Amino acid sequence: MKGIHPSHLILLFLDLLLAGCASMGPQDTDQYIFLDKTETLFVQFDHRASPIYQVNMPDVANSMEKNRREDFRVVMANLLYAYQLPIEIRILEERENPGPGPLLEIHAFRFEQDNSGDLVAVISAKLSKYGQLNTLGTYNHRDTPPPGGNRQMMDKAFRDVIQKPLREMLDDLQQHFPTLEEMEIINERLRPLGQE
């Protein structure tokens, strides 16, 4: 039986530690965020290859990150077209900063092929707007890749595996658009006293 190299154990420990620290970020605020169709919703996607690849094969890690980012972009663009959300949406490039307005942060804890050969996507999503924060949730899906798949087949398989979590996330995001009744309540509170 072959043993695990100590450097791999250290990297695994660091990966778990960083994942724990990431979950200790800012806490949700009490105010529920309603999205306004006059604003632009910025979408930021964050994914890093396994630390083992980052340390031992940085070129492979960079290529994996680039491919998974493109898979995310293609699937998200297709889903946004299908959902027709009532707001302008802009998917940010990797190092692009969001503009003023609401921000949807999507972090892929895992978007990879695991040791068993399955494709795995685990994402979390947070919605922030002017200092307010609402966590949408954590979403995941696992699937078996096509046997003997070439590059195009694997890209499609990765896109298929992240589609379900993104669809579930968008279902939750739709709850942040106010109904007509909710808009009336909000507008009533905003009317200056004495006006009808």
How is the chain split into domains, by residue range? 34-177
CATH tag for 34-177 (out of 1.25.40, 3.30.160, 1.10.3470, 3.40.50): 3.30.160
Residue 113 pLDDT more than 70? yes
Structure tokens at 136: 């949408």
Q: 43-52, 60-69, 101-110 — which one is most confidently predicted on average?
A: 101-110
Region class of 131: left (phi > 0), else alpha (psi between -120 and 50), else beta:
left
Q: Which pLDDT tens digit goes with each residue over 159-193?
A: 999 999 999 999 999 999 887 777 677 667 656 55
What pLDDT is recorded for position 1?
A: 42
φ, ψ for residue 111, nearest 5 deg? -155, 80
Q: What tokens were used for 78?
A: 């297709």
Instruction: Give the best-scoring range by mean pLDDT among 23-27, 36-40, 55-59, 75-79.
Output: 75-79
Distant-in-sequence, close-in-space partners of 49: CB < 8 Å, separation ≥ 6: 60, 61, 62, 64, 65, 112
Q: How many CA atoms lie within 13 A of 28 on its CB side?
A: 11
pLDDT at 97 over 50: yes
pLDDT at 110: 92
